[in-house]
A and B are shown apart, each in its own frame.
Chain A
């Protein structure tokens, strides 16, 4: 689906990625996590062909995204964090844009709009930011593209909409589709994203499915302060210490807490070098 090899990218003289490798096979809802400024949005823009890497090769759906071929674009929908909608009605937008996506499902679009509570009779520019986002989400999901990129999709959504977002995205997922969701609000994405890709300091420091993590590590809230040398990661949280330890073979698997995993990976990337996706995010 996506293969990036030895990608180097810089904004003028500020280097961002150097020798970045990333493989994303099809058929999952990938969560892309990273601190502010880690390069998540830039990486998504490189994947969708809006930015060109300075070096390296990249293949998305079998195309070089920098060419922005229509055959690639009609199979890729990218919802950015900041967007601009034309001053048209919902149905006019549909008439103008839907024909560009060969597998666009109009019934599904109306269903998603209904689930999100988007009023289809309104002018798009009269909708609130959250409503606009839900409208574009509905459109993107209904486009049935093989690759759907969502950059901070829950920003601006109210609490009920966030739950609805998880339900709707999960229902739209099929084996032929791949979703990449970039976020720094990991709580919004729990039970939805898997595998997880973590970007830090211009590198992919983690790229693995959650069950692989739970096979090797245990994560639990401990009431008594643990011995820091016996754990891979300890984080003080309300009510105790979230701890990551190497899992003993006979120990039960625990649920992965995304926030703890993220903090652990970002603070101790060397402990998770085996989870960088085979060749690793860094050469």
Chain B
């Protein structure tokens, strides 16, 4: 299947970078966990384990994942010399797009979870032997991890769109765009609140009321619809919209887009 071939090509060509990234993550976990276990042992005389996995996982999943996603199309869509190979590769536009999209949105969190699981087991064994720390490896099947990964897949779509839309500094420009859009939404929401809750307001944007969330939800069934719409927007509409627009950008890219 050609999509698999395109994905395989991507992995082979980025193998070296992936290896460096994997080793960096593993080394960071090793140093942090062993240093932590050593300090706790020295101070309290008892071992401690598995304290930094979750924090690091969140950082690498979101920050690392967003940066990787942002640079996924950089050379292939906007590189003066690299673009040629990608455009001329005998595969359809959607195969070229989906290969990168699937690798960054699906394969990356799965691989990172596996890496954390394997690395944590080895590090915990080492900490147990060296400092007598309790064996508390990273738990990849916890519902929280699953939820984090799902949130990553949804939000990563914004960076996928940024990666195809902006011709350089993809990550920072995407962050900036999200910030500007966020401020815009906040202003609209404030304006809406000022109009909707006018009787409770004082001054321009001052409000004097307390919301009892239980009563609010019970007395306003419409809020359930709003929540449902929000859920739909976040989990379905936003990712699909971003993926679709990103695909259109891939489809229309041409040699004049190459700048780097």
Contact = CB atoms under 8 A, between A and B. Distances in A.
Interface string A72-87: 0110111010111011
B92 A100 contact: no
A101 B2 CA distance: 11
A256 to B, nearest CB: 33
Contact of B254 (A51, A78, A88): A51
Interface residues of A, number: 29
Interface stretch (A91-99, A192-200, A207-215, A233-241): A91-99
Interface string B1-40: 0100100110011011000000000000000000000000
Interface in B202-257: 254-256
Contact of B89 (A73, A83, A92): A73
Contact of A88 (B12, B83, B89, B91): B12
**Interface of A, helix, strand, loop or mixed by DSSP:** loop
Interface stretch (B57-65, B74-82, B183-191): B74-82
A84 B79 contact: yes
B84 interface: yes
A195 B32 CA distance: 69
B84 A50 contact: yes
A281 interface: no
A50 B93 CA distance: 13
B256 A83 contact: no
Interface of B: 2, 5, 8-9, 12-13, 15-16, 75, 79-85, 87-93, 95, 254-256
27 contacts: A50-B83, A50-B84, A50-B88, A50-B254, A68-B87, A69-B92, A70-B2, A70-B95, A73-B90, A73-B91, A76-B88, A80-B81, A82-B81, A83-B84, A84-B75, A84-B79, A84-B82, A86-B12, A87-B16, A88-B12, A95-B12, A96-B5, A96-B12, A96-B13, A97-B9, A99-B5, A101-B90
